[in-house]
Amino acid sequence: MDVEQRAGAGHEPAMASLTTPLRWSLTLLFGAVLAGAVVGLGISQKRLAALARDAAGQPPVIILSVSEAVRAGLDAGQIRVFAERLGERGFLVLDAQAVLAAPAELSLPMGEETGR
């Protein structure tokens, strides 16, 4: 009979059927979740900003394959001068043999097709 009365009573808002203490509990829970989300977002934004500042302070990296440069006709002195000039312009120059993994965009091609 209780089910029939509810069905015939029309549409009541979900909060109207809750007791006052339960309403307060749900309101506090919602507020706590919302506050936690706002605080978490603020912390993550600070960390991202710190990472961006740190990345901006790092020198650009170039990976130079000494073996490719030798095959392209450069001698050790020319390779050293080339790497030092890049270093003077703010680049960190690494030998490809010392790098375990890196994006291809960081490698400086030294083959004959580059015209060097």
pLDDT for 44-99, tens place per residue? 888 888 888 877 777 889 999 998 988 888 898 999 999 999 999 999 999 999 89
Kindly report whether the global pTM for this prediction surpasses the value 0.95.
Answer: no
| Continuous segment of H or E residues that includes residue 4 | helix 2-8
E strands along 4-102, which residues? 61-64, 92-95
Radius of gyration (C-alpha) of the chain in whole angstroms: 32
Do residues 56 and 90 make contact, with C-beta atoms less than 8 angstroms apart? no
b/e per residue 57-66 (b: at least 16 CB within 10 A): eeeeeebbbb
Q: What is the pLDDT of residue 116?
A: 42
